[in-house]
Structure 1
């Protein structure tokens, strides 16, 4: 059964004699809407829009049955993902042959001529690939396979075992070491320039037949020298740095007793099994032993290239789920994950694991953006620790920036509050960096091999966060998300909880169901527009489609149907009234009569107005009345006075006779009508007292101001002309709108301990402002492409 007995009974009461196929549709809608569908108002709206005629039912019968089947699958997928999210601990990550080989190299601490970790040695024997190499069996990168294979051959040769595997490994190395220079540097394993030369020296000592004079080796030695200039051995022994992750490549230079003071709390050296294994072999430290025992027990002798990855896994998983548009199913699980991350947030940022002595800009940026957007109190000052001179870096001592690190910093920087200069600098730097990489066709990354990375970055540059609409971004990201993304550490690895097939299956099914609901709603809106005679005023159908689209990409959830439909009807009515008021045949007294009729709530006041005006007023009258009736259900009180008040203010402003200059500076309250009408019907309780509270008045004023500016910019663009005073005035409008958006972001996301303005209402203000920003940012062709993609193209 898709829905509870109580909900099913309510559904049947409303639908009465609806066909079985239609019942499947609404059952699916109940599932997609979740527990918020306890109010029947949402289904009433769907029903009104859905059942227009028998022909409509026949045409979409098969589609609705398909939706019902998808809904059944979704229920299972949702439960699976909930289980995954609730079971997250220190992170799920694949085994690294390289790190396992280093653990296998550790001699027995009791002095016997045996390995301390025989299960690790056995793992190497059991996991050689057919071509003689070790590494990820589904991804072949030369440098990754070479370093994995070289470490494994050294471990097996050291213990004089599995000679057949050693010989096959040597043949592989002899073939591919000379080819390493053919591979792009972006895919070089982490710390390669530090550890590979040391491994080759070990191989030479063991007398292994390898091409020690390969041209590539000199390049690697040069890169090592450059890194050691940035992080000297003195710094290595005194301060936590990324070199702690690669101690095995420096073991002949490390003062081991001195370096132990930089050991992490869990006994590791910067969470690297290979580095820690080397330290154990040199020091017999019991904390190193404890760390490695825990890992080899968990992975049956194997070891990942880094562990734990608890912060990294939680952050990237939440990011993926949000971008796939399925976060609403997992609100409590996401909150739990972010609260976990927040416990380890510091004013210097974070690393990929809890209590990391080394912070990085990638994890810090992801944490900052997610925590701030969920209302946590985080400071932008953390990013000061990743800036040197006029550049930002991922780690101290880094020799080059990474695409994904700068991309995530770019995303984080766009949630800046006014006055956060470090984020302004970060935004400018990262934008320039990414644009240069795009121009050079170099959007590869050293941390991840992701097929959709290029498209992700290009979208982010073309549509900054203010202009980006969640549903458009989701539609694109569904195409970009890959289950088989591979991450680059000391060896290639995968994150099965970050990249998971269930997420994308759920996201596709959810998107298609929401799209079907949206298309049904759009059909109903078009009928309403025609039946109300709004087409006779000169309001085109493509304008109706765009208005609906703007509401649907902003608040797309099925349980927000009443708010979405209130948004689009309000927007359409405002557009129609503007057309009427600005028409040649609309005289001043016509506008005055229209306002007077609305103020007195009596249509007969317009007895000598044109018929078109009477129909328009009748439509406005009926629509506001219907909103009021729905508001009684949603708010539990009469909201008619509040609705009429905001419409009266808007009409009075639009009815004024103004000069062009006055019209140019007028504060429009379009946003206030959309925000409040959608909020009243969206389910969050809004009291009359709240509407007059100074905090709400303040955020509403900012919203109205920024939306007025953006509407002015959009109007000039749509009319194909510049602003009245040319480029200088255009720049002023854009600058003021940017400042206004910053003020609004601060008002919405600034950490507050409690009431009075509900967080949902504040977020709606931002959502509406971003919709206005999108309309001002995009040309008609871009909007048209997005309409087609989001409303009419299912995902497969």
Structure 2
């Protein structure tokens, strides 16, 4: 018989464990892992220092913003620049081709906006004529080529500030192509944006135009605008916009803000400052997705507590006390804060919806891929009744799928080589179906230290994109993988020695059972819980095979249940040998878990375990019609959760197990997992539910609703005696069942191969 892709991959994986050649390869790999492990301590300390040292955000210097600061005349009325160090920075940082900008990435519009601003600043003060001429030569060559570049990578506010700079250049009689036909498109974009945010609105309410005031300086009333100034003296945290305001108003708060920046950056200035919320959120997100968050739990908590101090019911921006909120930062904050137990409301997302669409900012003319991607991720952390998140999920999923179909998964905020793969993976595996080890394995391939962000000019975030993170992530993944392979080898040996193969339980089922546990709770110190999950799942599968076999009659099932209830294998004396072996295996396993539980819990847990198994066995032993079996509420999830919790990190008292809150979350978990197991069974058998596709859809809707209730039970900000670790384990198990129902055999087989047997380099 021809093996399925899943069976074939898993069979090859097991063969890999035992061949002589590969044993040599494993030893060599283990030596490499030992070397990586020695480096990990240093990497962990480095990352801890980075996280503990975060302040207002580390961000590279923008020649464009520095040029605007250099343009400010001395406030004392002299003919000197107010910031001579900024002028000197421009002179020192011109590139070989005569342009200014990111030296490692060439984008025409970025280089043009930087170079045009720098040339104007130097020309204004009549210095560095050689640099001015080289800059003009660059502009004359590349301005006509602007339309050759994709619009997705246009600098922020380009349609506002570029026309204004060209007008300044024309007044200064610089030799540039002012009347080129292709420039009209940019002017049209400016007019469209100005219509969406009229001048009256600009002067009354904070908007993104505050970030680009230098492009509107002849059109605004500066005295009126001062009331919209941010607490730190800036205009929406833009050095360029604030420098223009200072030149127009001589405002001391603007001066204070710019003095602080130029002192920090030795005359230079980033394109936005501060970026404290953005940096913390994106760094935590990267560290979690790389699978290394457990090393930095206190630092992550500190970062999220900092963000939470500035959370509002209208969302947040990229910096503290921002008068303008955006859906990108709000989505990232909402998802991370909710997943860490902070009390945040979905009400914030109402502020980013207009008619039937969601936008990143008020007045935005089109959506961005990353903004909608992060909103899509956040929307999946919804509680029942949060309709705004359901609307956001539907809208963003459709938007991203359309962009994928059009091959337009590019973004206006970031140039990230892995973005396309990130979005495609998120669409294929929604959060309910996602699993930590698979997510990490994929994200290690997608993460780049050389991502470039797009503001008014290109910039980089060295704390968000950091080489140490990826080095630590790869080493950690390989160490965990090595541990998992060893455990899998032991599970397979246990399966063979226990004679479970003679019951018809296939080896690929053993691999899958272990894999589902390992991708959910992967940490090395959770080995006991992981193995308990896997072995419990294997034995439940074996018992189901035995109970449903042609030669297993009702009295055999009753005898098995009776022997377990009495906790006496002698009651199995009239049963087939296969049944005796199966009972013996279950008996030994529960006893071993009970012994381990005494060590972990400091008390006897055997009664709790036996009670759960007895209840499950009684349910499985019943003679039911297909319809009755279809509606049966299974309790296998409760066995997995309770056993893993007993052998994990949480202390679970007898009083807790009998508490209504504990019973409630277990009921939700059992219900969800029963529905999902039914769906997975039908999918594995290649058929719909017995009642047809309509019933199949009903099952899926009920499972989705159940997952929403489980998410609320885990993340709702409300006191419960149930430890957070136990609640999260319920969700972890629920998501594992969802993954099994969501994926086909080929996908699971590919994930087994990738996660358990392919090291990362």
Is the 8 Å Cα contact of residues 346 and 382 (structure 1) preserved in structure 2? yes
Query: Is the alpha carbon distance of 1:42 and 1:94 closer, same or farther for their aligned partners in structure 2, counting shifts above 3 Å?
Result: farther
Query: Is the alpha carbon distance of 1:187 and 1:522 closer, same or farther for their aligned partners in structure 2, counting shifts above 3 Å?
Result: same
What CA distance in whole angstroms lies between the structure 2 residues aligned with 1:392 and 1:485? 26
Give the SS at the match of 1:116. Answer: coil
Is the 8 Å Cα contact of residues 49 and 523 (structure 1) preserved in structure 2? no
What CA distance in whole angstroms lies between the structure 2 residues aligned with 1:462 and 1:645? 39
Give the SS at the match of 1:296. Answer: helix
Is the 8 Å Cα contact of residues 325 and 361 (structure 2) preserved in structure 1? yes
Q: Which sits farther off after the overlay, 61-70 or 243-252?
A: 61-70
Give the SS at the match of 1:487. Answer: strand
Q: Deviations over 1:271-330 (max 9, x none)?
A: 000000000000000000000000000000000000000000000000000000000000
Tell me the CA shift for residue 66 of structure 1: 2.0
Give the SS at the match of 1:510. Answer: helix
What CA distance in whole angstroms lies between the structure 2 residues aligned with 1:328 and 1:111? 57
Query: Is the alpha carbon distance of 1:442 and 1:53 closer, same or farther for their aligned partners in structure 2, counting shifts above 3 Å?
Result: closer
Counterpart for residue 3 of structure 1: none
What CA distance in whole angstroms lies between the structure 1 residues aligned with 2:41 and 2:241? 44
Query: Is the alpha carbon distance of 1:42 and 1:379 closer, same or farther for their aligned partners in structure 2, counting shifts above 3 Å?
Result: farther
Q: Deviations over 1:676-715 (max 9, x none)?
A: 0111001210011111100010000000001000000000
Is the 8 Å Cα contact of residues 242 and 358 (structure 1) preserved in structure 2? yes
Tell me the CA shift for residue 41 of structure 1: 33
Tell me the CA shift for residue 723 of structure 1: 0.9
Tell me the CA shift for residue 37 of structure 1: 41
Q: Which sits farther off after the overlay, 60-69 or 765-774?
A: 60-69
Counterpart for residue 410 of structure 1: 376
What CA distance in whole angstroms lies between the structure 1 residues aligned with 2:347 and 2:495? 51
Give the SS at the match of 2:532. Answer: helix
Tell me the CA shift for residue 64 of structure 1: 2.7
Q: Deviations over 1:110-157 (max 9, x none)?
A: 111110000000000000000000000001000000000000000000
Tell me the CA shift for residue 388 of structure 1: 0.6
Is the 8 Å Cα contact of residues 324 and 477 (structure 1) preserved in structure 2? yes
Give the SS at the match of 2:453. Answer: strand
Counterpart for residue 318 of structure 1: 284
Tell me the CA shift for residue 55 of structure 1: 11
Does residue 1:165 correspond to 2:131, yes or no? yes
Q: Deviations over 1:703-737 (max 9, x none)?
A: 00010000000000000111111111011000000
Is the 8 Å Cα contact of residues 50 and 520 (structure 1) preserved in structure 2? no
What CA distance in whole angstroms lies between the structure 1 residues aligned with 2:331 and 2:644? 32
What CA distance in whole angstroms lies between the structure 2 residues aligned with 1:328 and 1:222? 50
Tell me the CA shift for residue 214 of structure 1: 2.0
Is the 8 Å Cα contact of residues 11 and 507 (structure 2) preserved in structure 1? no
CA RMSD of superposed structures (Å): 4.4
Tell me the CA shift for residue 649 of structure 1: 0.2
Give the SS at the match of 1:351. Answer: coil
Query: Is the alpha carbon distance of 1:555 and 1:39 closer, same or farther for their aligned partners in structure 2, counting shifts above 3 Å?
Result: farther
Is the 8 Å Cα contact of residues 444 and 470 (structure 2) preserved in structure 1? yes
What CA distance in whole angstroms lies between the structure 1 residues aligned with 2:432 and 2:98? 51
What CA distance in whole angstroms lies between the structure 2 residues aligned with 1:782 and 1:42? 12
Is the 8 Å Cα contact of residues 108 and 115 (structure 1) preserved in structure 2? yes
What CA distance in whole angstroms lies between the structure 2 residues aligned with 1:53 and 1:232? 72
What CA distance in whole angstroms lies between the structure 1 residues aligned with 2:296 and 2:163? 47
What CA distance in whole angstroms lies between the structure 2 residues aligned with 1:37 and 1:462? 25
Counterpart for residue 717 of structure 2: 751
Is the 8 Å Cα contact of residues 690 and 757 (structure 1) preserved in structure 2? yes
Tell me the CA shift for residue 39 of structure 1: 40
Query: Is the alpha carbon distance of 1:461 and 1:37 closer, same or farther for their aligned partners in structure 2, counting shifts above 3 Å?
Result: closer
Unmatched 5+ stretches in structure 2: none
Give the SS at the match of 1:40. Answer: helix
Is the 8 Å Cα contact of residues 13 and 753 (structure 2) preserved in structure 1? no
Query: Is the alpha carbon distance of 1:189 and 1:47 closer, same or farther for their aligned partners in structure 2, counting shifts above 3 Å?
Result: closer
What CA distance in whole angstroms lies between the structure 2 residues aligned with 1:630 and 1:431? 45
State how many pairs are aligned: 758
Tell me the CA shift for residue 528 of structure 1: 0.3
Matches within 5 A, 1:634-713: 634-713=600-679
Tell me the CA shift for residue 46 of structure 1: 23
Query: Is the alpha carbon distance of 1:120 and 1:156 closer, same or farther for their aligned partners in structure 2, counting shifts above 3 Å?
Result: same
Query: Is the alpha carbon distance of 1:354 and 1:134 closer, same or farther for their aligned partners in structure 2, counting shifts above 3 Å?
Result: same
Tell me the CA shift for residue 62 of structure 1: 3.3
Is the 8 Å Cα contact of residues 46 and 561 (structure 1) preserved in structure 2? no
Query: Is the alpha carbon distance of 1:51 and 1:137 closer, same or farther for their aligned partners in structure 2, counting shifts above 3 Å?
Result: closer
Counterpart for residue 142 of structure 2: 176
Does residue 1:767 correspond to 2:736, yes or no? no
Query: Is the alpha carbon distance of 1:45 and 1:735 closer, same or farther for their aligned partners in structure 2, counting shifts above 3 Å?
Result: closer
Tell me the CA shift for residue 470 of structure 1: 1.2
Query: Is the alpha carbon distance of 1:496 and 1:699 closer, same or farther for their aligned partners in structure 2, counting shifts above 3 Å?
Result: same
Is the 8 Å Cα contact of residues 46 and 521 (structure 1) preserved in structure 2? no
Give the SS at the match of 1:144. Answer: helix
Query: Is the alpha carbon distance of 1:475 and 1:38 closer, same or farther for their aligned partners in structure 2, counting shifts above 3 Å?
Result: closer
Is the 8 Å Cα contact of residues 318 and 329 (structure 2) preserved in structure 1? yes
Query: Is the alpha carbon distance of 1:48 and 1:441 closer, same or farther for their aligned partners in structure 2, counting shifts above 3 Å?
Result: closer
Does residue 1:563 correspond to 2:563, yes or no? no
Query: Is the alpha carbon distance of 1:577 and 1:558 closer, same or farther for their aligned partners in structure 2, counting shifts above 3 Å?
Result: same
Query: Is the alpha carbon distance of 1:253 and 1:563 closer, same or farther for their aligned partners in structure 2, counting shifts above 3 Å?
Result: same
Query: Is the alpha carbon distance of 1:45 and 1:66 closer, same or farther for their aligned partners in structure 2, counting shifts above 3 Å?
Result: farther
Give the SS at the match of 1:221. Answer: helix
Query: Is the alpha carbon distance of 1:54 and 1:791 closer, same or farther for their aligned partners in structure 2, counting shifts above 3 Å?
Result: closer
Tell me the CA shift for residue 50 of structure 1: 16
What CA distance in whole angstroms lies between the structure 1 residues aligned with 2:14 and 2:34? 20
Q: Which has the higher contact order (CA 8 A, sep 6+)?
A: 2
Query: Is the alpha carbon distance of 1:660 and 1:43 closer, same or farther for their aligned partners in structure 2, counting shifts above 3 Å?
Result: closer
Tell me the CA shift for residue 657 of structure 1: 0.4
Is the 8 Å Cα contact of residues 11 and 508 (structure 2) preserved in structure 1? no
Is the 8 Å Cα contact of residues 466 and 774 (structure 1) preserved in structure 2? yes
Does residue 1:377 correspond to 2:343, yes or no? yes
Query: Is the alpha carbon distance of 1:183 and 1:58 closer, same or farther for their aligned partners in structure 2, counting shifts above 3 Å?
Result: closer
Tell me the CA shift for residue 573 of structure 1: 0.1
What CA distance in whole angstroms lies between the structure 1 residues aligned with 2:584 and 2:241? 76
Tell me the CA shift for residue 260 of structure 1: 0.4
Q: Deviations over 1:579-626 (max 9, x none)?
A: 000000101111011000100010011001000000000000000000
Tell me the CA shift for residue 40 of structure 1: 36
What CA distance in whole angstroms lies between the structure 2 residues aligned with 1:785 and 1:60? 20
Q: Deviations over 1:365-390 (max 9, x none)?
A: 00000000000000000000000100
Query: Is the alpha carbon distance of 1:50 and 1:167 closer, same or farther for their aligned partners in structure 2, counting shifts above 3 Å?
Result: closer
Query: Is the alpha carbon distance of 1:123 and 1:187 closer, same or farther for their aligned partners in structure 2, counting shifts above 3 Å?
Result: same
Is the 8 Å Cα contact of residues 369 and 400 (structure 2) preserved in structure 1? yes
Query: Is the alpha carbon distance of 1:37 and 1:673 closer, same or farther for their aligned partners in structure 2, counting shifts above 3 Å?
Result: farther
Is the 8 Å Cα contact of residues 208 and 324 (structure 2) preserved in structure 1? yes
Is the 8 Å Cα contact of residues 42 and 559 (structure 1) preserved in structure 2? no
Query: Is the alpha carbon distance of 1:303 and 1:398 closer, same or farther for their aligned partners in structure 2, counting shifts above 3 Å?
Result: same
Counterpart for residue 64 of structure 1: 30
What CA distance in whole angstroms lies between the structure 2 residues aligned with 1:658 and 1:123? 81
Query: Is the alpha carbon distance of 1:42 and 1:646 closer, same or farther for their aligned partners in structure 2, counting shifts above 3 Å?
Result: farther
What CA distance in whole angstroms lies between the structure 1 residues aligned with 2:8 and 2:229? 57
Tell me the CA shift for residue 629 of structure 1: 0.4
Give the SS at the match of 1:466. Answer: helix
Give the SS at the match of 1:697. Answer: helix
Query: Is the alpha carbon distance of 1:606 and 1:703 closer, same or farther for their aligned partners in structure 2, counting shifts above 3 Å?
Result: same
Give the SS at the match of 2:385. Answer: coil
What CA distance in whole angstroms lies between the structure 2 residues aligned with 1:628 and 1:698? 25
Give the SS at the match of 2:434. Answer: coil
Matches within 5 A, 1:709-720: 709-720=675-686
Matches within 5 A, 1:560-639: 560-639=526-605
Q: Which sits farther off after the overlay, 210-219 or 120-129?
A: 210-219
Q: Which sits farther off after the overlay, 515-524 or 54-63?
A: 54-63
Tell me the CA shift for residue 246 of structure 1: 0.3
Query: Is the alpha carbon distance of 1:44 and 1:695 closer, same or farther for their aligned partners in structure 2, counting shifts above 3 Å?
Result: farther
Q: Given the alignment, which residue of 441, 446, 451 partners 1:485?
A: 451
Is the 8 Å Cα contact of residues 103 and 273 (structure 1) preserved in structure 2? yes
Matches within 5 A, 1:216-227: 216-227=182-193
